[in-house]
Structure 1
């Protein structure tokens, strides 16, 4: 048996003769080997720490016959006497909004998830067949979650699924079709998801009808988007960029809200952009024509920027009305001008994004902030705020306008009702 010690957070140095340990309940305590005493506070800083949640993916705790507790890493075939969660111990804080930055723009999605076991979590990722969405889905699947790749292009989604399975054969992945340019398709997706059943974890080997229950939904990742389109109308008679980037995601969330509440604590993560700062949307001019303009009033960048502001406003208002029901929402910027399929619609954008490629984030770095907002333990109970580079960031003044958020919500509901009730 190896007695190797998992490296812990070394920001606070220990005096000679001290050791950090953790109880089975997750409370960190400190041992003074010279005086043979223990205490709950750090011997230098006086801070208290805890470790939260499950053991990392692939780890198991065992209690030996003599009462000794050991930890087995089945993936790397190693055993240690030290709880691996100590590497991710957190300070006990007075407010859920009191957290320090642990990651930045160089962090990768899998780094953010280090030490996490997402087994039993059900996650939907829209646009998961390529780019940031693919890396987001891959990171979740690599840590044990059951990930639903919600995509329009089924062939591309199947290729992405095979790619992840080649890397991690035991990954739990499903493909479900959704076309965000069609409210009918969004509704059908939600119905299909709700109709699926799953087996209770204690009965998976039995697989009898009595153990079938409705599947939960713990994380809804609204990632899919379009950019740089010529003026295009959807089958719902709406401008394409607005419907795909905002309205259909709004509708999808509304349709799945009951499931998110039943699965609480749950989260809705909305991938927005710093582009949300460059639009003139306000309480004075918001209306259906402004959100879904006619051809003569359309500009592709203006439409994209407006849709990204809608993302932040939607996320903040969703959190406001649903937080007390156990559903939190966060919005984020993944990175600037990353070379994804987002720029596919015009050769000039493709060239521009290609030229700046050496100076931008990789896809895995772009997925890091999404994964951080979705899973970071220090963000438990946190919602209604905006992130950039895995760090809380003030959005635009318009994005913080609660009256504008309410008006957008009301208009969005009306636009959907007017169309689904036809």
Structure 2
């Protein structure tokens, strides 16, 4: 259960005469200059704080000849004895889900990353060539993260990377082809990634389709279901060896999951992936795929909790102006009407970025976020039995394609 969050952070303001400092090991303490005393707890909240993670971009920790630790800000050419991470100090948590809201629906992704240095981290973002995925990848790259763009259209993806390099020439971006409508492409993507990267810190399952008329993929499954859920699940499982303790998996879902019609009584392979257009409705197919996203995240978080891999699902925003609505003129029209009242793409990417990088979410897994705040998904999305059944059905469907491909290879040989 999440802790009750205050309306603001004003209670963190120190009383007159107090100063916040940090020890070398990251423990925060407080100095009362009037009494010359010190204490470990905040004078107003009575809580303890810690600083952790990397130093902000451009800072370096140094030790003087007499053993004193100091910090150099190379960007501004300044030196201080105060740990610059004090600006991002977090309360010492009694349990993993004890954290307070710092951002909201108006926050930009780059604001979430303000002062953060992600150098040395590796991220994969599916659907990163456009829309929310692009802003997610761009925000990570501009803060030093090596970002792998997992996309189908390599020409458009390279153009997207070039736009980021126009902002900052030394960003580290790579592209590996990924077609989520083919499980074979997913497997080849994972193989290429493993050849080039030894670890994966952040996996963002962002790509998705919306409003597609009925169609089947090369693998024989309904397209919306495979692209939005099944292929992402397969990719995540294939990349498991590169994920380690502290790695984060972010599953981009939607509030549309609340209108899905899947339940314990109706969940079946036919319900997930119908073989004909009879009774097919593109909106319901989308809603169901988004419920699958959350159920997948719930089951994956349960399975990987002991490994220390964090898995959370998010809703980026309602009818955000992106390419998601490109498949039908009516959806494009509706999205255009509401555009002035919805989030920008930078705002829509903020919850993904928050869940991928926020220090206070260490250990917090299996949760659902909207507007950078934890919230409750639908009752169906919280059903562990439904999540387990979906997992079993999905793995069976993936295995069927794998077995079929192995049979074809055997015949060709």
Q: Is the 8 A contact 2:150 2:177 kept in 1?
A: yes
Aligned to 1:338: 320
Q: Is the 8 A contact 2:11 2:45 kept in 1?
A: no
Partners in 1 of 2:10 and 2:142 — Cα distance?
27
Partners in 2 of 1:359 and 1:380 — Cα distance?
33
Aligned to 1:249: 232
Q: Secondary structure at the match of 1:378?
A: helix
Partners in 1 of 2:45 and 2:356 — Cα distance?
30
Deviations 1:339-388, CA, capped at 9 Å, x for gaps: 10111111111111111111000001000000111111111001111110
Q: Secondary structure at the match of 1:71?
A: strand
Partners in 2 of 1:150 and 1:340 — Cα distance?
18
Aligned to 2:219: 236
Q: Secondary structure at the match of 1:231?
A: coil
Deviations 1:164-185, CA, capped at 9 Å, x for gaps: 1111212111011000000010
Matches within 5 A, 1:17-416: 17-65=17-65, 67-197=67-197, 215-260=198-243, 263-293=244-274, 294-416=276-398
Instruction: Name stretches of at least 5 consecutive residues in structure 1 with no aligned partner.
Output: 1-8, 198-214
Q: Is the 8 A contact 2:11 2:44 kept in 1?
A: no
Instruction: Name stretches of at least 5 consecutive residues in structure 2 with no aligned partner.
Output: 1-8, 405-413
**C-alpha displacement of 1:46:** 2.2
Partners in 1 of 2:151 and 2:165 — Cα distance?
17
Rate the CA distance shift 1:227–1:59 in 2: closer, same or farther, 3 A.
same
Rate the CA distance shift 1:11–1:77 in 2: closer, same or farther, 3 A.
farther
Partners in 2 of 1:338 and 1:81 — Cα distance?
44
Equivalenced residues, count: 395
**C-alpha displacement of 1:78:** 4.1
**C-alpha displacement of 1:77:** 4.2
Q: CA RMSD in A?
A: 1.4
Deviations 1:126-157, CA, capped at 9 Å, x for gaps: 00001110111111111111110110111111
**C-alpha displacement of 1:12:** 2.6
Partners in 2 of 1:10 and 1:25 — Cα distance?
27
Aligned to 2:5: none
Partners in 2 of 1:336 and 1:123 — Cα distance?
25
